[in-house]
Amino acid sequence: MNGKLKKNICKLDDHVFISKVEDLPICRTTYIGDALKYACHFWTNHLMGIPGNSPSVEEVQKAITKFFKECLLFWIETLSLMGALNVGVHALNDVQ
């Protein structure tokens, strides 16, 4: 996600309503793709599988901090384009 998420990932016009984008499914496939879609949906599920006493906990915490500083808004935008904002609410609870 760090390398793929970006502002205006589907290259839509500024201030466009998602409901007015006629080729949204094509945009999703072209610019988001299956791998990023999966990552956006399930990254916190994988995160929760890391034991709290794992030697990599500090590294994971740094990665989460970086994600929130650099990618959070792009992730929310991508979830919105996928019609999956509800995933974000649950994911943020998982991170906490």
Q: Are the CB atoms for 27 and 12 separated by under 8 Å? A: yes
How many other CB atoms sit within 10 Å of the CB of residue 53? Answer: 6
Q: What is the pLDDT of residue 30?
A: 96
Q: What is the pLDDT of residue 49?
A: 86
For 84, list phi and psi in degrees, rounded to 5: -130, 35
Give Cα separations from 58 to 4, 73, 87, 93, 96 (angstroms).
24, 23, 25, 20, 15
In the chain, where are the structural domains located? 18-95
Q: Are the CB atoms for 41 and 87 separated by under 8 Å? A: yes
pTM equals 0.89
pLDDT digits (tens, 9 = 90+) for 73-96: 999 999 999 999 999 999 998 887
